[in-house]
Amino acid sequence: MTEPNERAAQPADLPADLLADLDAGLLDPARAAEVRAAAAQDPDASAVLAGLATTRAELGELADPPVPAEYAARWDAALAAEAAAPLRLGHRRRRVRPALVAAAVLAAAAVAGLLWAPRDAAPTSLDGVDLVAAGLAVRGDFDVGDLADPARRAGCLRAVAPPGVAPDSLLLGGRDVVLGGRDGVLLLLAVGERGHLHIVVVAPGCGPEGGTLLAARTIGG
Amino acid sequence: MSAPSDADLLAAHRAGDRHAFGELVARYRNRMWGIAVRTLHHPEDAADVVQEALVAAYRRAGTYRGEASVRTWLHRILVNACIDRLRKERRHDTVPFPEVEPRERRPDVAMDVVTRLSLVEALAELPAHQRVAVVLVDVQGWPVDEVAEVLDVPVGTVKSRCARGRVRLGALLGHLREEER
């Protein structure tokens, strides 16, 4: 629809649309030279060209607003869930925006820049970092020492994990961490239900013979 | 050592590198957010669309053949998602996106607020295809030929959409006035 004032801005012989075509580089060189020369003689046409230039300039100054932290966390969680999905599901993956995402949003402030941060060999300190954020961040890493052995890991989980964490839960990732000043091993475990993950932190040495549970959280539960 | 190219990162992702896609996303998500929020004029919709685009790109990485740059490929996914959203919802009762740019550095604070709010609102008045073209060319500063590639239309079509959009914006913003006749 055309606004009345928009139409009113057009000089009779040099319509605004023609001037806008000139301004946008749409006219062939000969026609452009013709229109440009005519516009130079017409104050109204010159004003239209100036108005278009002002419009472009203002658009160019419109900076991108910063990404809100909760949205950044949501996107990271969706990608993390996407990466984990083939391990949990045997059928076509679909867009994930369930409780997993909601849980990750809670960690928004701590998450930004963490989920995809390059890894180093040193244990990650979790002090001051939300456990959910840390748990999602280890997805795909399997630096869990002896607990990489499924039998040992199952024995450990059977010994120390809270109810609801099956000993044979699928390991999605893990790494050495420091939690509350104590060394630990963080395990990100799939529950087998879309959008539900467990994060379990155990002390090193955990196995069938027993161990110490340092922390546990369920995402999407 | 120089940073890996976008194509390197996408190839690494396809090869199973668990961090490559995240690095690629980190390069572009701020800009993708900017495009989405300026195009859709609705933060929640924009966040949804960026998420859809990122997940779609993650899934479709295996189909990337290198005909376009990774940046173009990624933004084509985003822009198509934006246009789909506009077509589906035709949302006119949008909530204006609150401006959060640092205005304190600018001397004409009051006028700046007025101008920018009206500019954002004026953008939302443009038809979808004009809006997308103007956002990419004039707001984001992309070359017209790359925008044509993103939108899969001729260069002249992008210029035409920008030209029509600027006339309408100029009128809405008061830069093309009655007394200029």
Which of these three, A60, A81, A107, is where a domain ends? A60
pLDDT range class, residue A129, cuts 50, 70, 90 = low
Residues 6+ apart with CB under 8 A from B14: B61, B62, B64
**What gap in Å lies between CA A93 and CA B83, rounded to an integer?**
23
Q: Report whether A64 contacts B33 (CB < 8 A).
A: yes
Q: What is the pLDDT of residue A13?
A: 77
- A195 and A178 both lie in a single domain: yes
Q: What is the pLDDT of residues B75-115, one digit of tens each?
A: 999 999 999 998 877 644 444 444 433 333 334 444 545 55
Band (pLDDT 50/70/90 cuts) for residue A8 is very low
Number of domains within chain A? 2
Residue/partner pairs of B55-63 with CB below 8 Å, 24 or more apart: B55/A78, B55/A79, B55/A82, B55/A95, B55/A96, B56/B81, B58/A79, B58/A82, B58/A83, B58/B13, B58/B21, B59/A82, B59/A93, B61/B10, B61/B13, B61/B14, B61/B21, B62/B14
Comparing alpha-carbon positions, the chain B residue that sits nearest to A25 is: B159
Question: Are residues A121 and A201 both part of a single domain?
Answer: yes
> Does position B154 have pLDDT exceeding 90, yes or no?
yes
Nearest-by-Cβ selection for A58 from B43, B115, B171: B115
Inter-chain touch B101–A21, beta carbons under 8 Å: no
For chain B, the 3-state helix, strand and coil shares in percent, each to the nearest 5, are 75, 0, 25
Q: Are residues A52 and A73 in the same domain?
A: no
Q: Are residues A56 and A77 in the same domain?
A: no
User: Considering CB atoms only, which of B30, B58, B177 is closest to A79?
Assistant: B58
Question: Binning pLDDT at 50, 70 and 90, where does residue B116 land?
Answer: low
Q: Does A66 contact B141 at a Cβ distance shorter than 8 Å?
A: no
Q: How many Å is the maximal CA-CA distance in chain B?
A: 63
A107 and A187 housed in the same domain: yes
Residue in B22, B144, B176 closest to A116 by CB: B22
User: Which domains does chain B show, CATH number per domain?
Assistant: 1-96 (1.10.1740.10), 99-181 (1.10.10.10)
The reported pLDDT for the residue numbered B157 is 97
Q: Could A9 and B177 be called an inter-chain contact, meaning their C-beta atoms sit closer than 8 Å?
A: yes
Range of the domain at A55: 4-60
Of B50, B168, B169, the CB nearest to A75: B50
* Residues of chain A contacting B172 with CB distance shorter than 8 Å: 3, 6
Same domain? For A40 and A105 the reply is: no
Distance CA A188, CA A204 (A): 16
Least confident of A19-33, A129-143, A145-159, A200-214: A129-143
Q: Nearest CA to CA, how far is B9 from chain A (Å)?
A: 13
Least confident of A63-72, B44-53, B151-160: A63-72
Same domain, A185 and A209: yes
CA A215, chain centre distance (Å): 25
Any chain A CB within 8 A of the CB of B127? no
The predicted-structure confidence for A72-97, as pLDDT tens digits, reads as follows: 888 888 888 877 764 433 333 344 44
**B58 in contact with A, Cβ within 8 Å:** yes
**Across the interface, which of B138, B177, B180 has its CB nearest the CB of A60?**
B138
Domain co-membership, A90 together with A43:
no
Residue B181 pLDDT: 39
For residues A80 and A14, state if they share a domain: no
Q: A55 touching B, CB under 8 A?
A: yes
Answer yes or no: do A48 and A89 share one domain.
no
| Average pLDDT score over residue span A159-179 | 84
Which residues in chain B touch residue A39, judged by CB atoms under 8 angstroms apart?
none
Residue B30: the pLDDT is 93
A120/A198 same-domain check: yes
**Are A73 and A28 found together in one domain?**
no
CB contact (8 A) between residue B167 and residue A68: no
